[in-house]
Amino acid sequence: RMDWPGVALLVVSVGSLLTALNEAGKLAAADWPLIAVLVVVSAVAFALFWRTENRSGHPLVATRHLKQRATWATLLTTVLTMTGVFAVMNGLIPAFAQDAQAGLGMSAEQSAWWTLSPYALAGLAMGPLAGRLAATFGYGRVLRLGLVGSVATVVLMLLTMHSHSHVLLLVTSLLVGVAYAGVANIVLNGLGIVLSPRDNPGFLPGLNAGAFNLGAGLSFAVLYAVKTAVQPADPTSAGGYTAGMIAGVVILAAAIATSFLIPKPVAAEAQD
């Protein structure tokens, strides 16, 4: 039996919030009154969703599961991880590479070849290995290794981007791809599966997918807001890009902290 009232309210809540985040990403051109209305609608719809699920005999999402640390800690870590790194690699770095004054002056095609393609390919190559390592050495350990690596590689990218070296940009893009896309991202997806309740195995993977989308939207809204707020008057300065990436590093550090709250999926890990 499908919980259609719960589905409708959850769609309205999440859809309103994502639309608000997309609009907020426009910054100065954003319709802020509309954003405020959408946030209120999202909050009210979620409150009604929670009430509906508590009263439903066949809830879409049992609220007892939402209260568990395995749920909220995993989702919070996913949101923070995406917020900290997504707009860096999918927005700030490609934009810096194409910036003719502050950056490298590449074309859009060149930027993709030097940043996005190696980043994605490195993640694709590392993914299967990361899953095996998580099952062998522990999901929490491997996740934190990926998150610490993400922080370290973004900081390295910050330190090298002012050299205006195509090769260093390529190398750091590869390293971020390994640490974030190949390790942290894969392990977070895996945690959504192994920590999902036995009576509803699709529960946490579905919510985690929404957390990835929410974090991606937040990333562009927050990091670009920081970039715009501190953008120097000198168009040849990369200060705005630097500030946005530093904000990403701080948020990734918060993700490392929340990752310690995720319970150990004992049944999914090799035993000593």
Same domain, 89 and 184: yes
CA atoms of 72 and 18, how far apart (whole Å) = 19
Domain holding 176, by residue range, is 67-268
Among the candidates 9, 39, 60, a domain finishes at 60
Burial class (CB in 10 A: 0-12, 13-18, 19+), 171: middle
Same domain, 101 and 35: no
Same domain, 185 and 231: yes
The per-residue pLDDT for range 81-108, each reduced to its tens digit, is: 999 999 999 999 999 999 999 999 999 9
Same domain, 261 and 182: yes
Same domain, 11 and 73: no
pTM for this one?
0.88
Same domain, 80 and 49: no
The per-residue pLDDT for range 114-161, each reduced to its tens digit, is: 999 999 999 999 999 999 999 899 999 999 999 999 999 999 999 888
Same domain, 134 and 205: yes
Q: What mean pLDDT is predicted for residues 242-255?
A: 96
Same domain, 71 and 56: no
CA atoms of 134 and 142, how far apart (whole Å) = 6
CATH number for the domain harbouring residue 212: 1.20.1250.20
Same domain, 170 and 149: yes
